[in-house]
Chain A
Amino acid sequence: MSGTCSSEGAVTASRLEMTDISKRFGGLRAVDRVTISLRGGEVLALCGANGAGKSTLVRILAGVEHADSGQIALDGVPVVIDRPETAAHHGLSFVHQELNLVPKFTGLQNMAMGADRQSRLGLVATKRLRRLASEVQERLGYRIPLDVPVDRLSVSDRWMVSLGRCLMRSAKFVVLDEPTASFTDDEAEKLYKVIKELTDSGVGVLYISHRLEEVLEISDRVTVLRNGSVAGSYETAELTVSSLTKAIVGHEVEALAHRRGDASTGAPIRLSVRDLRRPPNVVGASFDLRRGEIVGVAGLVGSGRTELARLLIGADQAAGGEIILDGKPYAPRGPHDAIRAGVVLVPEERRSQALLLSESIERNLAVASHGSARHLMCRFRPRRSHRAAVDIVDELGIKTDGVTRPVLSLSGGNQQKVVVGNYLRTRPSVLVLDEPTVGVDVGSREEIYGIITGLAGAGASILVISSDFDELAVCDRVLVMRHGAIVAEVPSHRATKGHLTRLCFEAEQPAA
């Protein structure tokens, strides 16, 4: 996409500049004298490793965080953005990195929140809001469920609501902080279309993503942050995936290689799932998982992958079918049983499902090991726990200045590593990861997959659920789930993005 609207001649195109912005958290310089500028009608991508300071910069722009120094100017006029409403007032609209919805509100209520200040008598202008919302739906080409409380929606539908909210406001600049992290390609495509429309109508887009192909596809320019400061700014045209990766990480990173699944083909079966069901989301799942094997699960949003994973650890109770673990029937009554049997799930939404946000990293790294303790009266040894936490932080390369810091202060990718570390401490034999690399940068993703393959090498069996089909290259086999059933199994070398996507959609009998 080229910035047709941002030609020099366009006098009306507005301009957003952030100059010399700095922000410190305690001793840490999250953002250090960063300067970026964005014009109406163009897409500026912001790239950088986890913790590089992208979201902090965005939050400063949104009035959520206050910069220690620096200036923000709109069309050359300095503005003070001290509160989120001020940002909205200046025509800035955001999708923040974390889901921020009111669970009991419907999609429409969530989209309307804070958007309707202008209504008369303080009354809610329901009709107008609904009209606006359906316009947004049309633009997205996606039916966002408007009248269902969002806590009944799937995670990706929730993201659609979040995106819808951002688009409901007529904005001059739109900031999207990893909007596609939870999307499959299909939904991402819809978003790209919307971004195109936006830029065509003169809106400037600040776009943050760890999906580098996507960045190259949709942006006009790229600014790379490293350790809080600008490491370089580029015209997108002059970049490739590998040069961008190098700019972000500072050194070369190899692309994920397809695994040769021969290592584990002869290994004994560890987990055998037979016709597992819990209608309506899971209506018949059968598969085997061998020792030392990494198996991927591909599927569209709502195909029931998360439900399947929850059944495996007993977080929900199956309505039928059976599971055999190491030759013995396995029917966990809850995650406790599962963990004790060596089966763990790394859940898909880390903030609501996996972290004690306001607690320390150390404590977050100990929860699962408490959960797997035999007796509640077992002794807890804080020093030992501290040492274990320090070890995990080192091992997984979690970027922090101490394990006693609250996990809240970590960047998204590092939080994800804490989640993985928490579960790894129980030394699981079966590890189920639901979207393990959501919001994780290329370098860290590499590391997380390195950890996963390492575990598999040590004999653990791993099930990886991912909507990023490129990632599934690391798997020995990929299962495809559709409408609650496993409909296909694809060996590693054939698990290309295109093939998997086709299988996800195909209604006919696939070649198993």
Chain B
Amino acid sequence: MARLVVRDVVITTLLLGLFAAIGTAVVAWVHAATEARIAENRLQMTRTRVTQVLEGLDYDNDPVTDYHRVSDDRLGGEDLPVWIARRGTEVVGVALSAIAPDGYSGDIHLLVGIDRTGTVRGVRITQHRETPGLGDDIEVERSDWIHDFRGRSLGDPPIERWRVRRDGGVFDQFTGATVTPRAVVRAVRNALLYFEANSEELLALPPPEEDEVLIIDPAVPEIPDHVTPTERLPEAEPPGELLQ
């Protein structure tokens, strides 16, 4: 019963190989046809987000291809990307990624757009795990709270009032959730402090050589943890992890 018929084995094998080859050929062909568009799509994702936090700035480069990596405690992480907006070769603003380590349930990732004068042009939360329905009012889709930062700078309000109202600052907390806004306010303030301390270097960063531009790859998209509004939105992809 267990005698092997080699011919059968070979036929089985070759048949399967054949099917595999045909299937792969089709897929490879589709891949060739879509490759360029997919790459462009990926850039576009990041571009949209960076554009949002640099709102109102007049720049003529594509910040997505013009980025550097920085590490600093005030930004809360290592090798965080910073995108540069320029007019000509002059840097007019930067989009800093930052991490607030003291969220209610873990890190909050944000993108802070700052112009050369040190004024916030926009802030967006890119990833967080705050309690849905309570801490997630920091998302732009859920409330306007995040827009409070627009136009603020280290002098406005004065540094000691860069806090939530409960702690004697100017920023609103949400009813029932102080921890989250406190963390975000602190992170934005720290990003500004970082900018102030390093503005010279940041503003002097050179534009990239043409052939240095890397393709930005969002990898395989993340599986939704909870299907919460946060992850539902493509904007929530962390820019920091978009780069490989």
A associates with B? no
- Point out residues on A near B: beta carbons under 8 Å: none
- Point out residues on B near A: beta carbons under 8 Å: none
